[in-house]
Amino acid sequence: MPRFNYGGQALIEGVMMRGRDAIAVALRHPDGRIVWAQERLDQGTVHGNPAAKWPFVRGLVVLYETLVVGTRWLVRSAGLQAEDQGVEIGKGGVALMLGITAVLGIGLFFILPLVIATATAGNIENDLVQHFVEGLVRVVIFIAYLVLISRTPDIHRVFQYHGAEHQTIHALEAGEPLRPEYVSRHPTAHPRCGTEFLVVVILLSILAFSLVGRQTPIVMIASRILLIPVIAAVGYELLKLGAKHRSNPVIKVIMYPGILVQMITTKQPTEDMIEVAIVSLEQAIAADGDPIPEGGLHLPRDPMPLPGETAKDVRAAHDAVEGEAAAPVSIDPPLPG
């Protein structure tokens, strides 16, 4: 068993794996090569603060890193596929995308259900009816949104990489060699998936907002926004507890809706997608300073050029420090062998 519960995120033609104090990214370059990068999380960020590991705080830290770091690498992965077209998105573009995503997410999944529930059940004296309608609308919107985007070819491929990410982590946790023939045997759903976290958040929101009760429209809207961090923090702890006691029949039943939703957000990957996920996980393990599991293929890989760099620049920088003890940077030496 690994010494850390690795998690990840699907990107455009790639996978990001999150380790203890670093993330690793592997992408399928348009020319067919696998390119990779590593980024420290414990330097100059909230991750390195001791409070970041406190219960109910750690969930917010992970959420922050997922939104900020995950979105940045999602944009970077899209940019890599469009580099031959001269497309490049800077920090301003990432910040704008984060802002738009946050506004749309809060509006679509929290404010809109409240508006619909108020309009349809606001005249019913029993407050629980309105909260039930609001929760039901939120679930319907969430599922409909996932089904709709899964039908687009690009998102379908992202969901395949999502499946490859889960299968690779399953193989690591089972102590199997990180090879496509072993990885592909595992399910594409995983109990620590971010999709399952979203399902837990939605279910918790029904309970939390019912405690707020029926207030003025301003108070009800404000409560939906202000309680999001609280719900996320509690949801993360419940997800960790559920993953730890997954063999418990009661926990299995409670968490099963999250597995069902992953039937939408994960798809069976191809072998070349699994290869990318394997490289990403191996680089994440290396970034943590742990040995790579034996029996792997040592798949060919190249350091990923950062914006403004070329592959030649990256290789030259690597050759200059090869064999020396270098301080952690965004691009680390590749695996030996």
CA distances from 213 to 87, 207, 208, 230, 286 (A): 49, 10, 9, 17, 50
Alpha-carbon distance 73 to 57, whole Å?
24
146 in Cβ contact with 265 (< 8 Å): yes
Beta-ladder partners of 153: none
pTM: 0.83
Task: Name the packing angle between helices 271-287 and 153-173 (round to 10°).
Answer: 50
What was the pLDDT predicted at 202? Answer: 86
CA dihedral sign of residues 216, 218, 224, 226:
negative
Per-residue confidence in pLDDT tens, the chain, 337 aa: 566 889 999 999 999 999 988 999 999 999 999 999 999 887 766 766 788 888 989 888 888 887 888 888 998 898 888 765 545 555 565 567 667 777 888 898 889 999 999 999 888 877 788 888 999 999 999 999 999 999 999 999 999 999 999 999 999 999 999 999 999 999 999 988 888 888 888 889 888 988 888 888 899 999 999 999 999 999 999 888 887 888 888 888 888 898 999 999 999 999 999 999 999 999 999 999 999 999 999 999 999 876 555 555 555 555 554 444 333 333 333 333 3
Alpha-carbon distance 46 to 202, whole Å?
26
CA distances from 26 to 10, 83, 93 (A): 10, 16, 22
**pLDDT tens digit sequence for 211-262:** 888 888 899 999 999 999 999 999 999 888 887 888 888 888 888 898 999 9
Tokens at 288, concatenated: 């943590």
Per the prediction, the chain carries an average pLDDT of: 84
What was the pLDDT predicted at 319? Answer: 55
What was the pLDDT predicted at 303? Answer: 95
Alpha-carbon distance 107 to 98, whole Å?
14
Tell me how far the alpha carbon of residue 13 is from its chain's centroid: 15
**pLDDT tens digit sequence for 108-136:** 888 999 999 999 988 887 778 888 899 99
What was the pLDDT predicted at 152? Answer: 94
**pLDDT tens digit sequence for 308-324:** 555 555 555 555 544 44
CA angle at 314 for the pair 158 and 269, rounded to the nearest 5°: 20
What was the pLDDT predicted at 201? Answer: 87
Tokens at 324, concatenated: 């020396």
Spell out the domain ranges in the chain.
13-321
Alpha-carbon distance 231 to 235, whole Å?
6
